[in-house]
Chain A
Amino acid sequence: MTNKQQTPRQLTRGDLLSVFWRSGFEQASWNYERMQNLGFAYVMVPAIKRLYPDKQDQIEAMQRHLAFFNTMPYMQSTVTGVVLAMEEQKANGASITGDEISSTKIGMMGPLAGIGDPVWWGTLRPVLAAFAVGLIKGGTGLLGPAIFFFGWNIMRLVFRWKTQQLGYREGTDIVRVLSGNLIPKLTQGASIVGMFIMGVLVPRWTTIYFPGTIAHVYVNGHLNRLTGQGLLDQLIAWYCCTGVDTGLFLASQTPGKTALADYCVIYYRHPWVLVGVTRISGLMR
């Protein structure tokens, strides 16, 4: 062990870039047993080869990274950065055990996924997609898909590289950064933009058709039909869309009264159910 300290083993910039590139394939072997385990090990391969020249050390390191792991894929870069720093210290003889590295991974994956899922999947992607679809509806052709594709990937790549570097630089001190008020600020900022855009999209892009005739009215011998749609159009215009949407939201929020919320999830996950339901309710055009 003492010999190792004479020539400190360090990851080169090439190694860091290689790990960064491999991070983009992290989920390829997502499986129902240990989820992203092989993915994380795959990402670590260049670093492990550099840090542990001894075959037995390599095997040991790879085995600890083949343990269960799952987080939001883009947040994996933060974890990887921290783990790179720890593995580097371990390779240079610091008293870090394999278990400590494993428990750091497990400790970070949950909270980071809790931030990453709502911000990336729940806010940034829908908002960017909605923006792009808005452009398409404005008749701009390929501009919408191009903005979606490039905007998303620039954000993603910059984020992955920066957080990997941050984790690598800070090591286990990352806890200080994560427990500061930066993350609540970012999360809330994203949520505000998201809520605002959803407020815009609901009336602009959703319409509800109410079938059926309420009354037949004869005016000067002409038959006028008073339809549900006509009435609602006059009274509240598109505000009813928000009614239904807010209703669904409240249904999915109300504790105890989960029946309706369950139906929402069923509709969402099993669209076929709706075919039957719409047939019965006559909501069909």
Chain B
Amino acid sequence: MSTLVVVSMLIIAFLAGVEGILDEWGFHQPLVACTLVGIATGHIAAGVLLGGSLQLIALGWMNIGAAVSPDAALASVVAAYLVCGPAHVSTAMGIAIAVPVAVCGQIFTKLVRILVVKLVHVADHQVARGNLNNVSWLHLTSLALQGLRVAVPMGAVMLIPTQLIHTGLDAIPAVITNGLAVAAGFIVVVGYAMLINMMASKALWPFFFIGFALAAVKALNMVALGVIGVCLAIIYIQLSPQHHDNGTGGGSASDPLDEELDDLDRELEDL
């Protein structure tokens, strides 16, 4: 591996770690992280494919309130490095490895989140002295810590000789690797169920079954199904009496409202 590849791998890992806490640009999402690793190592197709598979596993992973989900950032970069890097592990093995690595990453981010409490206390003192710029730096320091908590383990994995990776992975009993493969599959289904759980209400179940029935029509690709879904939503909201009963906010409220709905339509069309 050339120096350029190593450096870009570390940058990607750092970015993924940063995004693992920020949840903004999406560099920690498997689709993006694995694709970037694929580009860096020159095995784009393998990276994209692995990213797609891992994204399905991570579909329901979200940080809500104080709950921390399994870490997609470390899982994505490590698995993608093993699959796209010099070790050329199989995609199935990469997916299986991603699951325990995500749990490790979850522990790392929790540790950093505890560590940052100290920095916040320092920030308290700095504010009391009126050093506003130092507050900004402390904030960015904790961001760097979150980046390093992925970049350092990634660097450690890259130090392992290819031969040793193969010996190590071969030494894992089939029970564990198969079990992890099943676990990965199971997590996808549980993730779906949790997402449905968040969205479902009695009135909305018919939409699930319309989608279910249309899924059998193989000629309809995701673009077509997306258009159908968005149109169904718009039609339902226009017709639903639930949204017309309490329209007593006055005439002024309806203008920004329609505008916002149009915005939503446009945003959804982007999908």
Contact = CB atoms under 8 A, between A and B. Distances in A.
Interface of A: 24-35, 37-39, 41-42, 45, 48-49, 55, 58-59, 62-63, 66, 70, 73, 113, 117-118, 121-123, 125-138, 141-142, 144-145, 148-149, 151-156, 158-159, 162, 176-177, 180-182, 184-186, 188-206, 241-242, 244-245, 248-249, 252-253, 264, 267-272, 274-276, 278-279, 283-285
Interface of B: 18, 21-26, 29, 31-32, 35, 44-45, 48-49, 51-52, 55-56, 59-60, 62-66, 70, 99-100, 102-103, 113-114, 116-117, 119-120, 123-124, 127-128, 130, 132, 135-136, 138-140, 142-143, 146, 175-176, 178-184, 186-201, 204-205, 207-216, 221-223, 225-226, 228-230, 232-234, 236-237, 240, 242-243, 246-247, 249, 253, 256-257, 260-261, 263-264, 267-268, 270-271
The A interface is mostly helix, strand or loop, or mixed, namely: helix
Contact of B267 (A148, A158, A194, A274): A158
Given A204-B215, A274-B187, 7 more contacts: A73-B24, A136-B52, A188-B204, A196-B207, A199-B214, A275-B183, A283-B182
Nearest to A137: B52
A248 B195 CA distance: 11
B139 A271 contact: no
A63 B200 contact: no
A189 B29 contact: no
A203 B215 contact: yes
Given A121-B62, A267-B187, A272-B100, A201 B192 contact: yes
Given A271-B187, A272-B103, A31 B21 contact: no
Given A33-B117, A141-B45, A198-B192, A185 B237 contact: yes
Among A34, A48, A192, the one with the most B-chain Cβ atoms within 10 Å of its Cβ is A192
A284 B246 contact: no
